Amino acid sequence: MDLNWDDLRVFLAVARHETLSAAGKQLRIDPATVGRRVGRIEQVLGMPLFAKSPNGYALTNAGAQILFHAERVEQATAAVTRDLSGTAGQLSGQIRIGAPDGCANFILPQVCARIADDNPDLDIQIVALPRVVNLSKREADMAITVSPPTSGRLKVQKLSDYKLHLAASRDYLARVGPINTITDLARLRCVGYIADMIFDKELDYLTQLGLDRVALASNSVSVQFNWLRAGAGFGIVHDFALPFAPDVQRILRSQFSLNRSFYLVRHVDDARLDRMNRFAAQLQTELRKEIDHLEANA
């Protein structure tokens, strides 16, 4: 007995959502039926495609191999539909992007909204994680990182540079008095990352300042940013975030600044997929445009 496209749709839904209930909701069939269909597919292939646990359904090595082929079938099927409907230039289906939460909160919403406007049949999901997204476990189709990975079968492309500066709210600055040099920071309350939860060396900002205490710490850039907005202390901020909080301003600009880069990481096999390549190209164009716009208004 051979697999058909309907079988692969079920497989893809479970692989992407990792639970029968979520997959069933997408497919509009009950979870028990999804489970039976998965069992049938595994029986036909003679191998387990998922490892079942209390946390859901995770792809086995065999499942990860099947996923690549299933996505190619999905792409081909979508292409036929687009050609017949006269929308061959548009993207469709689902694409999930993993990103550090600074990028995910301040840049990707606008970027992905514009891409969605150009591609009405495309579903875009943003996974904001304060850690490196695991592409091998298919947590996402592609990931934005602040360091290019050096191992694995991955395709890496640089997306854009961005800037960071020291910043604090006007209210906080009015309370603590003038800040003229880096040494003045030692008497102030520092906002930053939890030291043992920094998941990338490029995020270890405060070492260069010689500060050994972070009074208010979080693994989330958004939490840190909201502390600064509330006048709780000073910290290092992405310039692209500043337009979202006009009361937060840069300090010691001539004495301290950082330059970092965003990279797009994909499975090397996905580089063969026209759909993923076209999305990546749009993502790069729009992300660069959005960072330029936000930094110009910081």
* Total count of residues recorded for the chain: 298
Segment 230-251 mean pLDDT: 97
In the numeric block, which tokens belong to residue 76? Answer: 């081909």
Q: Please indicate whether residue 15 or residue 239 has the higher confidence score (pLDDT).
A: 239
Q: Domain end: 63, 89, 115, which one?
A: 89
Mean pLDDT estimate for the chain: 88
Q: Report the percent of the chain where pLDDT is more than 90.
A: 54
Tell me which residue has tokens 């695991």: 134
Segment 236-248 mean pLDDT: 97
Picking from 170, 203, 162, 192, the residue whose alpha carbon sits closest to that of residue 294 is 162
State the residue range of the domain holding 70: 1-89
The domain that holds 14 is classified in CATH as 1.10.10.10
Within a domain: residue 150? no
Report the pLDDT value the prediction gives residue 86, as an integer from 0 to 100. Answer: 42
| Least confident span in 158-162, 245-249, 269-273, 294-298 | 269-273
Within a domain: residue 103? no
Within a domain: residue 294? no
Q: Domain end: 48, 67, 89, which one?
A: 89
Which of 1-15, 16-30, 137-151, 239-253 shows the highest mean pLDDT? 239-253
- As beta bridge partners, residue 162 has 260
Same domain, 83 and 168: no
What lies within 8 Å, CB to CB, of 125 at 6+ separation is 94, 95, 96, 97, 140
The domain that holds 191 is classified in CATH as 3.40.190.10
Are 109 and 90 in contact, with CB atoms under 8 Å apart?
no
Report the pLDDT value the prediction gives residue 158, as an integer from 0 to 100. Answer: 94
Segment 211-223 mean pLDDT: 92
Are 240 and 107 in contact, with CB atoms under 8 Å apart?
yes
CA distances from 52 to 16, 66, 126 (A): 14, 17, 25
Report the pLDDT value the prediction gives residue 48, as an integer from 0 to 100. Answer: 93
Segment 14-41 mean pLDDT: 90
What is the band of 203 on the pLDDT scale with cuts at 50, 70, 90?
confident
Report the pLDDT value the prediction gives residue 151, as an integer from 0 to 100. Answer: 76
Are 94 and 16 in contact, with CB atoms under 8 Å apart?
yes
Q: Which amino acid is residue 179, in one-letter code? A: I
Report the pLDDT value the prediction gives residue 132, as an integer from 0 to 100. Answer: 64
Within a domain: residue 110? no
Within a domain: residue 4? yes
Are 199 and 130 in contact, with CB atoms under 8 Å apart?
yes
Within a domain: residue 213? yes
| Least confident span in 122-131, 134-143, 228-237 | 134-143
191 CB-contact burial (10 Å; exposed 0-12 / middle 13-18 / buried 19+): buried
Q: Please indicate whether residue 18 or residue 229 has the higher confidence score (pLDDT).
A: 229
Q: How many domains does the chain have?
A: 2
The pLDDT of residue 177 is above 50: yes
Report the pLDDT value the prediction gives residue 90, as an integer from 0 to 100. Answer: 76
d(Cα 61, Cα 66) in Å, to the nearest integer? 9
- The per-residue pLDDT for range 90-125, each reduced to its tens digit, is 788 889 999 999 999 999 999 999 999 999 989 999
Within a domain: residue 282? no
Within a domain: residue 58? yes
Report the pLDDT value the prediction gives residue 73, as an integer from 0 to 100. Answer: 81
Q: Please indicate whether residue 204 or residue 174 has the higher confidence score (pLDDT).
A: 174
